[in-house]
Amino acid sequence: GEDVEQSLFLSVREGDSSVINCTYTDSSSTYLYWYKQEPGAGLQLLTYIFSNMDMKQDQRLTVLLNKKDKHLSLRIADTQTGDSAIYFCAESIPSGTYKYIFGTGTRLKVLA
Amino acid sequence: GAVVSQHPSWVICKSGTSVKIECRSLDFQATTMFWYRQFPKQSLMLMATSNEGSKATYEQGVEKDKFLINHASLTLSTLTVTSAHPEDSSFYICSASNRDEAKNIQYFGAGTRLSVL
């Protein structure tokens, strides 16, 4: 079945790196995404990776994809207090409408 | 680019009334729009998918007569919560996607908080 799991909570000190993990079960996903949600707001696309890639770097963000283990991670370098938010991973399923399956969300708290 | 506007951001209504939420893609053509519901401290739950000019596809357990979705143009979709009750109070978020773009990226609105008294 379709299931995307994330750890619920992560706390890091300002300046450290954050690593948010995600595991998924549907191997037919084409793209995987990371979104950020601040309190009371919608979702902001951070980055995405094609399922045939294993790494993508975009400024402070590094995405790693292990397709064999169905594991996706997001590393945020030099984490800042403004990075405090909920982070969702999502996979795009080629089901006709290419709907997303969202992860459970990880609440990142950055301590000054 | 890829801006999605959702309106209103907050609405309070009396039980039994209907509420309409608008979702607009401002700078691209949205061939597909999605409507989600989010409960506090939870992930997003897909309610329905709509393609421009055709009927929406509802997820299992979502009442189509309760949540009316219209996607009449490539830039506008609306969700109407009919005869709203307190249990419909929630955070509703829309997203829009251009199917011509291969990456299937969904761009999200800022959400609408609905409070039914």
Is the pLDDT at A1 greater than 60, yes or no?
no
pLDDT tens, B22-51?
999 999 999 899 999 999 888 999 999 998
The closest CB to that of B34, out of A33, A88, A99, belongs to A99
Answer yes or no: do A100 and B32 touch at CB < 8 A: no
> Across all residues in chain A, what is the average pLDDT?
92
The closest CB to that of A104, out of B32, B43, B104, belongs to B43
What gap in Å lies between CA A72 and CA A4, rounded to an integer?
A: 10
Answer yes or no: do B104 and A35 touch at CB < 8 A: no
pLDDT at A33: 96
Q: Does B70 touch chain A (CB under 8 A)?
A: no
- Roughly how many angstroms between the first and final C-alpha of chain A, as a whole number? 40
Q: Which residues of A touch B57 (CB under 8 A)?
A: 97
pLDDT confidence band for A98 (50 / 70 / 90): confident
Dihedral sign from CA coordinates of B5, B14, B44, A30: negative
Q: How far is A42 from chain B (nearest CA, A)?
A: 4
Answer yes or no: do B105 and A43 touch at CB < 8 A: no
What gap in Å lies between CA B85 and CA A109, rounded to an integer?
A: 35
Return all residues near B107 (Cβ < 8 A) that are at least 6 apart: A45, B2, B3, B4, B25, B28, B95, B96, B97
pLDDT tens, A30-55?
899 999 999 888 999 999 999 999 99
pLDDT confidence band for B18 (50 / 70 / 90): very high
Considering only residues A77 and B99, tell me which one the structure prediction assigns the higher pLDDT: A77
